[in-house]
């Protein structure tokens, strides 16, 4: 479904600041897989997402989606098939437009005509139905500007915008990290429900190592622009944080040093 072949990206090439952010990364996802992606700062996680979305062109390698080579496809063309929710609740929506208008823009992406704010009664009813299912009370605030919503409410709108026209791939870039614990748990539940109900192929960057082992179907760890661990099935079942850290040390020959990721408590336990 998603196939990344030997992806390479080096920033500031030929300068003292040269940095290889992706070092021959290869990764494949089957339809319906939910992969949690972890690693310390600078490991290459968000850079990998940017490569998948087409935020830049790779220096080498290829990106295939559903059997189609999208390596040189511009980001705006990939957006029809790839949904992305960012950590910052301010991204992904137009704050000066209403909830209804934001959803209308997202809904028009796969239609033949240009982006439009116009919606008919059937579309509005559909938006209300989808919002009501998320249990955040937003179905009664469709005329509210998104900029007036809380961070959690904005993330719900962004998540819905990404899945109104069900994408082939959903990328979640630490989408609950900026939220308070209670809101984070609620957004994560909504996310899991959407993914399961639609068998949606998903990758999620998370800073919570415990949650990474208990969410989805597979856990991938990156370090220094490389994939160093890829765990699923019986190997992943029952694995503890200490097991993961020991495997990391064996593969990278160093200790994991991201306090934020080590100290974050998994509230599902």
The answer as to whether 235 is a domain residue is yes
pLDDT in the model for residue 268:
43
Q: What pLDDT, in 10s, does the model give residues 16-73?
A: 999 999 999 999 999 999 999 999 889 999 999 999 999 999 999 999 999 999 999 9
Judged by DSSP in three states, 49 sits in helix
- The residues facing 25 across adjacent strands are 7
The answer as to whether 189 is a domain residue is no
Task: Indicate whether 265 pLDDT > 60.
Answer: no
Stretch (H or E) spanning 246? helix 241-252
Judged by DSSP in three states, 77 sits in helix
Task: Indicate whether 114 pLDDT > 60.
Answer: no
% residues pLDDT > 70 (the chain) = 92
The enclosing domain of 36 has a CATH number of 3.40.50
The answer as to whether 267 is a domain residue is yes
Helices (H), 79-166: 99-107, 121-133, 151-163
Mean pLDDT of the chain: 91
The answer as to whether 225 is a domain residue is yes
**Rounded average pLDDT over 7-15:** 97
The answer as to whether 207 is a domain residue is no
The answer as to whether 114 is a domain residue is no
> What string of DSSP letters covers 167-187?
-SEEEEESTTTTS-HHHHHHH
The answer as to whether 232 is a domain residue is yes
- Cβ atoms < 10 Å from Cβ of 158: 24
Taking alpha carbons only, the member of 186, 119, 129, 200 closest to residue 153 is 186
End-to-end CA distance of the chain: 32
Q: What pLDDT, in 10s, does the model give residues 145-196?
A: 999 999 999 999 999 999 999 999 999 999 999 999 999 999 999 999 999 9
Q: Structural domain tally of the chain?
A: 1
- Cβ atoms < 10 Å from Cβ of 92: 22
The answer as to whether 21 is a domain residue is yes
Q: What pLDDT, in 10s, does the model give residues 187-227?
A: 999 999 999 999 999 999 998 898 899 999 999 999 999 99
* Ramachandran sector of residue 66 (left: φ over 0; alpha: ψ -120 to 50; beta: rest): left
Taking alpha carbons only, the member of 40, 56, 47 closest to residue 25 is 47
Cα–Cα distance measured from residue 48 to residue 39, given in angstroms and rounded to the nearest whole number: 12
Cα–Cα distance measured from residue 202 to residue 169, given in angstroms and rounded to the nearest whole number: 6
Q: What pLDDT, in 10s, does the model give residues 117-132?
A: 667 889 999 999 999 9
Largest CA distance in the chain: 60
Judged by DSSP in three states, 82 sits in strand
Cα–Cα distance measured from residue 115 to residue 104, given in angstroms and rounded to the nearest whole number: 8
13 lies in which domain range?
1-79+219-269
């Amino acid at each position: 479904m998603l196939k990344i072949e030997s992806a390479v990206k080096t920033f500031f090439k030929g300068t003292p600041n040269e940095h290889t952010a992706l070092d021959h990364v290869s990764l494949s996802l089957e339809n319906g897989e939910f992969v949690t992606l972890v690693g310390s700062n600078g490991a290459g996680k968000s850079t990998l997402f940017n490569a998948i979305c087409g935020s830049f062109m790779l220096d080498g390698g290829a990106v295939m989606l559903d059997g189609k080579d999208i390596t040189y496809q511009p980001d705006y063309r990939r957006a029809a098939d790839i949904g992305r929710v960012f950590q910052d609740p301010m991204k992904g929506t137009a704050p000066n437009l209403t909830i209804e208008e934001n959803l209308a823009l997202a809904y028009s992406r796969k239609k033949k005509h240009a982006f439009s704010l116009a919606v008919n009664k059937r579309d509005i009813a559909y938006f209300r139905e989808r919002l009501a299912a998320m249990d955040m009370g937003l179905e009664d605030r469709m005329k509210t500007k998104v900029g007036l919503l809380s961070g959690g409410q904005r993330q719900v709108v962004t998540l819905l915008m990404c899945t109104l026209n069900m994408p082939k791939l959903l990328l979640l870039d630490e989408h609950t990290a900026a939220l308070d614990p209670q809101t984070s748990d609620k957004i994560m539940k909504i996310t899991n429900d959407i993914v399961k109900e639609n068998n949606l192929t998903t990758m999620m960057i998370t800073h919570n190592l415990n949650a990474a082992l208990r969410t989805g179907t597979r856990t991938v760890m990156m370090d220094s622009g490389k994939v160093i661990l890829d765990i699923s099935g019986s190997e992943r079942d029952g694995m503890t944080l200490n097991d993961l850290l020991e495997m990391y040390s064996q593969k990278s020959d160093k200790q994991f040093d991201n306090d934020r990721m080590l100290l974050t408590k998994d509230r599902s336990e």
